[in-house]
Amino acid sequence: MSGTLGYVETQRVVLADQDDPLLLRGGGRLDHVEVAYETYGTLSPARDNAIFVCHALTGDAHAAGLHLGAKKRGWWDNLIGPGKPVDTDRFFVISPNLLGGCSGTTGPLSTDPATGTPYCLDFPMLHMTDLVAVHRRLAARLGVERLYAVVGGSLGGMQALQWVIDDPDALDRALLVAASSRLSAENIAFSSVGREAIMSDPDFCGGRYVEQGVFPWRGQKVARMMAHINYVSPQSLEAKFGHRRRSHGDDWTLQPDYEVEHYLQHQGQVFLDRFDALSYLYLTRLLDYFDPFADPGTAAALRRTRTRFQLTSFDSDWRFDSAQSAALTEQLRDLGVEVDWAELASPFGHDSFLLEPPGYHERIAKFLA
């Protein structure tokens, strides 16, 4: 019988310093890397029951349970917990905030040890392998040499794929949900407009807004409103809002009037309270550049892995549609990798990976059994 986790705490650990810096794929280096993370469950004596959770673009370390004094449970609480598909009675679950984020892990707003001021746009560009390098350091720090599984949705699934490429012997199972091995031109276009909105905001201040005591909230709000449209599906918006307005008759206005407009206004506004504009710029750009099968070393790495993959896509997801999962499945199978892919029916669009459409949780539980 499934249950829920109780109170959990976010922990922090320094995983790189001047004596052991993080050397980045693009040639840069970070002399101080601190990571925020949470764990659930207990590591077995054999250290063979660890599952690593990689979060999506705007996620954080708080994947499950409840923080003391908070009302909102972790973002994947419906999946992680006692008796749930990622069963904390059975597994030791590790969930960090990724590199470049803004929820406790080193990112653009962190202090540059060389200057004593925030990095801002002096923060180095990141590659997916840099995120995984930090994840691997965290797993090692926690005493885990080999993972039972890595689980991730959206950007989290891409981290799982990169992990297998970087260390083909490191994990038994890789679960990728609503993910892709290369963004479409449409996806890159959406991200480009979002970044332009942020960087064109008069309060962006060349990226050093924090030093001016301001925040590019107008641009970030617009970026989130636009992005949120491709997280949901046309049918879900129609079912929830239809053509309903708040005004009546011929009372026309240029201000938000339709219910769907007010919904997007709300999504944009609440996003300002939990995410930073610079992290949004860096992480969306990292997604644009992700193209692992263009790397000549990828094929050799995947040919020798014994990691089993499970890919899940959703029929209403138009951000990372099923065609992208089908392409990745074919790429993996051509290299001899064992892959189980299924498209599930869901009305919720890309956000399906955070919810419970029919068959989804059962599918994950079976693969982890």
Q: What is the model's pLDDT at position 1?
A: 59
Give the number of other CB atoms < 10 A from CB of residue 209.
21
Bind-site residues for substrate = 224, 351
Give me the residue spans of the domains in the chain: 11-182+291-368, 187-284
Bind-site residues = 224, 351
Q: What is the model's pLDDT at position 3?
A: 82
Sheet containing strand 33-40, edge to edge, reads 11-16, 33-40, 92-96, 50-54, 147-153, 171-177, 308-314, 339-344
Q: Which tokens go with 241?
A: 């809002």
The beta strands (E) that lie in 75-139 are given as: 80-81, 86-87, 92-96
Q: What is the model's pLDDT at position 368?
A: 98
CATH number of 187-284: 1.10.1740.110
In terms of CATH, what superfamily is 11-182+291-368?
Answer: Alpha/Beta hydrolase fold, catalytic domain (3.40.50.1820)
**16 has which bridge partners?**
33
pLDDT in tens, 248-305: 888 899 999 999 999 999 999 999 999 999 999 999 999 999 999 999 999 999 999 9
pLDDT in tens, 189-206: 999 999 999 999 999 999
pLDDT tens across the length of the chain (369 residues): 578 999 999 999 999 999 999 999 999 999 999 999 999 999 999 999 999 999 999 999 999 999 999 999 999 999 999 999 999 999 999 999 999 999 999 999 999 999 999 999 999 999 999 999 999 999 999 999 999 999 999 999 999 999 999 999 999 999 999 999 999 999 999 999 999 999 999 999 999 999 999 999 999 999 999 999 999 999 999 999 999 999 988 889 999 999 999 999 999 999 999 999 999 999 999 999 999 999 999 999 999 999 999 999 999 999 999 999 999 999 999 999 999 999 999 999 999 999 999 999 999 999 999
pTM of the model: 0.97
Active site amino acids = 154, 317, 350
